[in-house]
Amino acid sequence: MDNLQPRLERCFAAVFPDLGPQEIPRASIGSVAAWDSLATITLFTVLEEEFHVPIDPADADNLVSFELILDHLESRVGGG
């Protein structure tokens, strides 16, 4: 679990470069103006490369915040 969060933060920082380090863990599709449909595709592609897990675009409706994505990754790849 400890390993996943900093890696996910790095992914968020790359896709949303305007977010500060404090803002990233609280980021959600409602709070980040740049988080549109294209940013979602970019974020999912970055996550697939980083964590080697396929993310179905159909999951986009559920994966709408840093926290929810972290939960999703923990369930898919574990916290190791």
Give whichever of 41 and 77 is closer to another protein, judged by the CB atom: 41
Asked whether 16 and 48 are in contact (CB, 8 A), the reply is no
Give whichever of 44 and 65 is closer to another protein, judged by the CB atom: 44
Distance CA 74, CA 63 (A): 13
Shortest distance in whole angstroms from residue 45 CB to another protein: 5
Kind and range of the H or E run holding 68: helix 66-77
Residue 78 backbone phi and psi in degrees, to 5: 80, 170
Distance CA 28, CA 57 (A): 17
Give whichever of 10 and 26 is closer to another protein, judged by the CB atom: 10
Shortest distance in whole angstroms from residue 48 CB to another protein: 8
Chain residues that interact with another protein, rule: CB under 8 A: 10-11, 14-15, 17, 37-38, 41-42, 45-46, 49-50, 57
